[in-house]
Each structure stands twice: as structure tokens, then as C-alpha cells.
Amino acid sequence: MLTAAIIGASRGIGLELARQYAGAGWRVHATTRTPENPGELGSQKKVAIMSSIQGSGRPRPQSPDLYGDSKGELNRRLREVEPDWRRRGITAVALHPGYVRTDMTGAHASLSPEESVAGIRDVLEHLGPADAGRFLDYRGRDVAW
């Protein structure tokens, strides 16, 4: 049985990822926004962090945008640890889910959580070692760091 570990599955995109993977027969380890034990990633050895295009080119000095800056810091940290993970056979990427209708973005966003997650799942399914260290969107397209 395949296993997915989803950190931040209490709402929005993380919740929909957990639902769809569980519905497809996967064993799902899901945590809230205060994770204590994310569980095992399973034999796939794939790590995907949920970033955002708003993290591109960040953090910026004296920026008032804490969300974008936090995603930029997340991206920076992934780029720092990813080479070690790659040496251990783990394929790690940052993912931009698209502009998704959630509590945070509201009704004007262009994608439903279902559409975003379907794309994310497709990207993760086709992810291979050559993709390690990339920043991808939900369609598998490169996003600028």
C-alpha cells in the first residue's frame, strides 16, 4: 500500500489532498497545522512542500507580506536541505498549488481545491529523481525561485 504524509491537513488544499489520497486507497498520515508526528513517507521517497508563487524572490527586507516572506523562507530552507536529501535518494520539490478557492483566498480564486489537488497528485505521481530541487506548479510547470 502506498503512503502519503500530509502536514497541514486541517483545511483547504491539505484536507483535499488527504481526502483524495485516502479515496484512492492510500494510507494517509495527516497532521494539523501544529504537527507532532508526520508519519512515514513510505517507499516512494518523495517530499513535496506546499509553497506558493508568492514566495518567489523572497524574503524581502522590510516586507509587510508575512505570507509571501514565510513561503520564501520555506523555499530557501528546502533549497538548503534538498541536496542532502537527494544524496539519500529522496526527491524533494516545492509546489505552488495555483490560485485556489479557500478560506484564505475567497471565492474569486480561479481553481477549486479539487482541481488543484488533482493536478498536484498528477505531478507527484510522475515525479522522478531528475525533478529533485525544482519548484513546480500544480500542472508540473516550473516556477521561478
The phi, psi pair for 72, rounded to 5°, reads: -60, -40
pLDDT grade for 1, boundaries at 50, 70 and 90: confident
pLDDT grade for 38, boundaries at 50, 70 and 90: very low
Residue-level pLDDT at 32 = 55
Q: Is the dihedral of CA 49, 53, 54, 59 positive or negative?
A: positive
Question: Which three-class secondary structure state does DSSP give residue 48?
Answer: strand
> Which has the closest alpha carbon to 100: 13, 27, 26?
13
**What pTM was computed for the model?**
0.72
In angstroms, the Cα distances linking 84 to 61, 66, 79, 91, 92 are 28, 28, 10, 10, 10
Q: How many CB atoms lie within 10 A of CB 29?
A: 19
How far, in Å, CA of 78 to CA of 49, rounded?
A: 8
- Side-chain-side CA neighbours of 7 within 13 Å: the count stands at 13
How far, in Å, CA of 81 to CA of 64, rounded?
A: 27
**55-102 pLDDT per residue, tens:** 888 767 777 778 888 999 989 988 998 998 898 888 989 999 999 998
Residue-level pLDDT at 37 = 37
| Per-residue cell: 73 | 523562507
Domain over 3-137 is classified CATH 3.10.20.740? no
Residue-level pLDDT at 18 = 84
How far, in Å, CA of 66 to CA of 68, rounded?
A: 6
Residue-level pLDDT at 31 = 66
Per-domain boundaries in the chain: 3-137
Say if residues 18 and 6 touch (Cβ distance below 8 Å). Answer: yes
